[in-house]
Amino acid sequence: MHRFGVVMLVAGGILTVLGLAVGFATMFAGKDELAKLFLGIVPLGFIVGFTGIATTLLFRPHKR
């Protein structure tokens, strides 16, 4: 589960960064409908990233 949390954290970061970059680029290019789609991905990226953080903290490996 710890590895799953790390993967979710990375995926959330990628979704957030790509959503912001592509969303603003398409907005400045005048394609507003496409910009709404990509900017709408940003909150999903935050949720996925937060899930990854919580999973990583809850299921960290035990040191014996």
pLDDT in tens, 10-55: 999 999 999 999 999 999 998 989 999 999 999 999 999 999 999 9
Structure-block tokens of residue 61: 């490996």
Note the pLDDT of residue 1. Answer: 86
Residue in 45, 61, 36 with CA at minimum distance from that of residue 8: 45
Range of the domain at 28: 2-58
Residue 64 has pLDDT above 80, yes or no: no
Residue 47 lies in a domain: yes
31: left (phi over 0), alpha (psi -120 to 50) or beta: beta
d(CA 7, CA 10): 5
Give the residue ranges of DSSP H helices in 1-64.
2-28, 32-58
Residue 14, in any domain of the structure: yes
User: How many domains does the chain fold into?
Assistant: 1
**Residue 64: inside a domain:** no
Residue 58 in this model has a pLDDT that exceeds 80 = yes
